[in-house]
């Protein structure tokens, strides 16, 4: 009569356990691989950010120039990166830039001459003035603080302080009559400044007469 061999039974049991462990390992490896692939696909196919249309400079532009359609290019930016005050193409064409603009820079209401330029300067008025020396205007940039000085029309006496720390809003290098300054013998040297509203009439009169100069305060 045959009897069971305990060692044979033990070997069979161990072999079965090994097979099960191998199967579980293979299944676990396949599961981990599937998870990794799914995670990679999910990262690649992440939902696209919402975008919006903005108008940017098609090339480097000088300040004071009137914008044309050829100066503008449509671009799309993520909504979170779009600048405040973005304007449409129709609102830009024909407007004058308040300062130089780099190619690709988004154009906003504060990059063109208009009421938005004064939002950062409450209680002030924008006044276009003609400087006695047109070359001085070439040294100024939007944001500069300048002391407006009244020059002696005869050239005999010293200049006197008219308005301290006026803010340069823009420098206009062509067709000054387009912004309310009469044409003179020199079409350059026109500066748009922000001054206290009470001083605006006097500054305007001195600027039209061409007896203004500027000094850079410390």
Domains of the chain: 51-111 (3.90.1210.10), 117-215 (no CATH)
Model pLDDT, residue 187: 47
The angle subtended at Cα 213 by Cα 129 and Cα 125, nearest 5°, is: 35
pLDDT tens by residue, 78-97: 988 889 998 999 999 999 88
The mean pLDDT value for 101-116 works out to 90
Q: Is the pTM of this model over 0.85?
A: no
Note whether 86 and 70 are within 8 A (CB): no
C-alpha distances (whole Å) from 164 to each of 130, 150, 159 are 17, 11, 13
Q: Which residues contact 1 (CB under 8 A, 6 or more apart)?
A: none
pLDDT over 80 at 75, yes or no: yes
The mean pLDDT value for 184-212 works out to 80
pLDDT over 50 at 151, yes or no: yes
Report the alpha-carbon distance of residue 47 to residue 190 in Å, rounded: 50
């Amino acid at each position: 009569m045959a009897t069971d061999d305990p060692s044979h039974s033990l070997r069979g049991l161990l072999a079965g356990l090994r097979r099960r462990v191998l199967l579980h390992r293979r299944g676990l490896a396949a599961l981990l691989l599937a998870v990794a692939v799914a995670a990679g696909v999910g990262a690649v196919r992440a939902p696209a950010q919402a975008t919006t249309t903005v108008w940017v400079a098609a090339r480097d532009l000088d300040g004071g120039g009137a914008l044309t359609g050829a100066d503008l290019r449509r671009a799309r930016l993520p909504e979170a990166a779009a600048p405040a005050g973005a304007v449409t193409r129709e609102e830009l064409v024909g407007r004058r830039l308040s300062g130089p603009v780099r190619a690709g820079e988004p154009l906003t209401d504060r990059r063109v001459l208009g009421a938005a330029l004064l939002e950062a300067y409450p209680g002030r008025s924008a006044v276009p003035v003609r400087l006695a020396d047109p070359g001085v205007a070439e040294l100024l940039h939007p944001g500069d603080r300048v002391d407006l000085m009244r020059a002696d029309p005869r050239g005999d006496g010293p200049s006197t302080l008219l308005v301290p720390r006026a803010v340069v809003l823009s420098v206009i290098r062509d067709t000054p009559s387009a912004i309310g300054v009469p044409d003179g013998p020199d079409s350059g040297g026109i500066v748009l400044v922000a001054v206290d509203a009470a001083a605006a009439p006097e500054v305007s009169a001195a600027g039209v007469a061409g007896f203004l100069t500027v000094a850079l305060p410390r």
